[in-house]
Structure 1
Amino acid sequence: MNIDDEKFDGLLLAIAEKHENGIPQFLDTIASFLRRKTDFFTGVSQAEWEGLLLGVFQKQYEKAITQNSGNGNQSVTKQDNRKAENIAKRESRDEENAPKEEISKPINDVDDESEKEEIGKLKPNSGNGCTLDNYSWTQTLQEVEVKIPLKTSSTLRARDIDVIIGKSSIKVGLKNQEAVINGKLCAEVKQEDSVWVLQDNNIVLITLEKINKMNWWDRLISTDPPISTRKINPEPSKLSDLDGETRSLVEKMMYDQRQKEMGLPTSEDKRKIEILEKFKMQHPEMDFSNCKFN
């Protein structure tokens, strides 16, 4: 082991001990420090800081594998495996007993002037969607997942459920009863790739395949209260699953959407401005005071 590896062990252990939720909270503290005190996230592209993080952790992973294989202590490995299995079982029980996700709450406080328009909109739930009284939904850039618990004491079968998925509409409920969801979708979906299943005898789970995979939905149907798409936190691993060209396009679209929501120039607007500035430098004799972009 490199002596430098142990240089900050005392400090890091002291910090780690203050985190009741273990490694995830510890890593979140480090990421928070980088966000608040450095330009780690904003000074480079998302692809660059993701690549840097992946490279660092991959390097340490390979060292861990090499060290473990060199020890030749199989009993330790088995013991660790048993611990991991017990932790997984415990976490599974905790998840089952955990309280249901709270209903999405309106945004009342904002950090700066540019976010005033967000007041009154709902905060996205942990799945970048919304949790309402009768159903909840989550989303990625590719699809929307809707979860509808049907309030009945009866054991339901698929034939008892009425689900109609249109290109731009959806209707869900028990047959011969008022629908739980019935309205125009936020955006169009691929009917042939959208499916539903009955889960645990009383929960309808629907997966809607988006046609436009570049935008976040701010609501499921037109009558729902909107969520703040500026508060959406896309999972980096989802973007990393895309090929290079598609990922670059998605990142550009996400950037442009955020810029539009904040009333700032998009990447295309910036490109036009740069061209104009260059042209102005080449032709100082011309008057560009009335020049506007469409």
Structure 2
Amino acid sequence: MENNEEKFDMMLLGLAQKHTGGVIELLDTIFSFLARKTDFYVGAPKETTEQMVMEKFHKYQTLAFKEHEKKKAQYAEMDRRKQERLKKREMEEQKVASEPKIKELTEDEADQLEKNLANGQDAEKTETAAKEQKTEGEEEEEDEKNKGKLKPNAENGCDLENYRWTQSLQEVEVQ
């Protein structure tokens, strides 16, 4: 069920679309209608009708400014989050690029590596296991928050079985 404010939106939108002169022409039509088909101008003192028009104007002007500021704040927040993600991604890329290619091992780590190689495991599996042990607590915490959620792809979208989509602030692309 539509609320009272939206009850005539479709008719008014149709009326507005037929006015090629924009809002000024639409207002001219509305006030012309009030003069020709109602007693709006002559049914009450001049000051009363002007006051009614100005009260409604100020009421909806205030609401429009509040809504505009709200949307502006939402867009600013979305932009701030995007910038944070970009900075985080850049920092991670820099971190990966700055990590040394050769890692110095302690005696214990070297012994463990030799044992693993002797058992048929390669160095990459050992390194992966060591990293997993270091970040195990962090990953568990993150997994609980994101459990059941899809991970975004590199273009801030998602890759699914039958299609993929990407997005930016200006456009969305579905393939």
Whose relative contact order is higher, 1 or 2, with alpha carbons under 8 Å and at least 6 apart?
1
Instruction: Give the TM interval when normalised to the shorter protein.
Output: 0.3 to 0.5
More helix by share: 2
Q: How high is the TM-score relative to the length of structure 1?
A: 0.24
The structure number with the bigger radius of gyration is 2
More strand by share: 1
